[in-house]
Amino acid sequence: MTMEEALIENLVLGNDHKESLKKINQNLIQYGLTPNQSKVYLYLTKTGEKTASTISKSLNIPRTESYHLLNSLEQKGIIFSIFGKPTKFNSVPIQEALTIIIDNEKNRIADLELKKEKILTLWETIPKHVDESEKVDGNKFQILQGRNSILVKIERMVKISKKEVLVLGSDTNFIKFYHTEFVSLLKKTKSDLQVLTTYPKKGLFSLDGLPLSQIKKLDESNRHNFSFIIKDDDEVIFFINSGSAELMAIWTDSKSFVSTLKSLFKLIWRKSPFVLEKDNKLTENMSGDYKHRLREIEQEKVILDYLQQNLMVSKGEKNE
């Protein structure tokens, strides 16, 4: 490696810049780039036009792979080649590159929408071979991984809801959905919307835009380490604290779990103040039935925690 290439590598991958580049790289991956595609793009953006050989040496990527990466990035429209001997490559500005990637994704989705009816029509021509007697009614569980897959499930639940949508969780949990369609989806529901969450007096509120008349405060004693969204009496998404940076959740139509979480929600909702109320003092005197039901739900929460742990273990075993 020449002195110039070494200086370039220190500039791009030096300790002073590693953390920032790591965060940008993680975000670009969410835009559909592979880690090495992102690395090559960022390298060109910060250092200017370079040959494939220089890119390969500076980023420690095999030359054959570097040509493949450059070709794929050129096809995406975020880098371009400069003809000469040897050929050099450069990138479009990052602002323009992000717009190009987003527009490409929008076009891809629009194309899929157009093909949807054609696929469904073809599907109807294929005979079914399902034994109707084997269909399971209820008690289905599905692990959702990633913010997008969770949002798709929430959107479907909200759209088909007929009676109510119940949301419970700390504001710090829902802030992960900021800059998504999460709040917009909740606003569009024609069902009764009830939200139980922490409400910061100052700073960013993740559910900003929802009517405050539909939001009640979670007090300190009810800031459980879990969040969930219930649709009517038949579906719930239960968020998992997996320790991973990626969001995970469990969807189920199990009547017992939906009923348990709904009872918990209604119990807390009944004794919680609206965010608009000036007097936030909670009622301390509870009837014997109220206390008894609260103890029951605490026991049921143990079952929920057990389910969460075992589903995570099962998923880990499945991935191995």
257 lies in the same domain as 177: yes
In a domain, 304, yes or no: yes
What pLDDT shows up at residue 247? Answer: 80
In a domain, 100, yes or no: no
In a domain, 80, yes or no: yes
What pLDDT shows up at residue 300? Answer: 56
In a domain, 111, yes or no: no
Q: Which residues of the chain have pLDDT under 70?
A: 1-17, 129-138, 201-204, 220-225, 242-245, 277-320
Look up residue 220 and give its two tokens.
């300190």
In a domain, 120, yes or no: no
What is the spatial distance between Cα 271 and Cα 68, in angstroms, rounded to a whole number?
A: 61
What is the spatial distance between Cα 320 and Cα 314, in angstroms, rounded to a whole number?
A: 10
187 lies in the same domain as 79: no
166 lies in the same domain as 246: yes
154 lies in the same domain as 240: yes
What pLDDT shows up at residue 236? Answer: 93
151 lies in the same domain as 224: yes
154 lies in the same domain as 257: yes
Check which CATH number belongs to the domain holding 266 and give it: 3.30.870.10
Beta strand pairing call for 248-252 and 235-240? antiparallel
144 lies in the same domain as 211: yes
147 lies in the same domain as 207: yes
Range of the domain at 248: 138-277+290-319
What pLDDT shows up at residue 199? Answer: 76
Tell me whether the omega of the peptide bond preceding residue 62 falls within 30 degrees of 0, making it cis.
no
193 lies in the same domain as 91: no
175 lies in the same domain as 241: yes
176 lies in the same domain as 64: no
Look up residue 141 and give its two tokens.
């569980």
What pLDDT shows up at residue 282? Answer: 43
Q: Which amino acid is at 144?
A: L
Given 60, 79, 95, the domain boundary residue is 95
For the chain, what is the domain count?
Answer: 2
In a domain, 130, yes or no: no
What is the per-residue pLDDT across 237-296, written as a single tens digit (0 to 9) for each?
988 875 556 788 889 888 888 888 888 888 888 888 888 766 444 444 445 555 555 665
88 lies in the same domain as 177: no
- Residue 197, beta-bridge partner list: 217
Look up residue 30 and give its two tokens.
């969410």
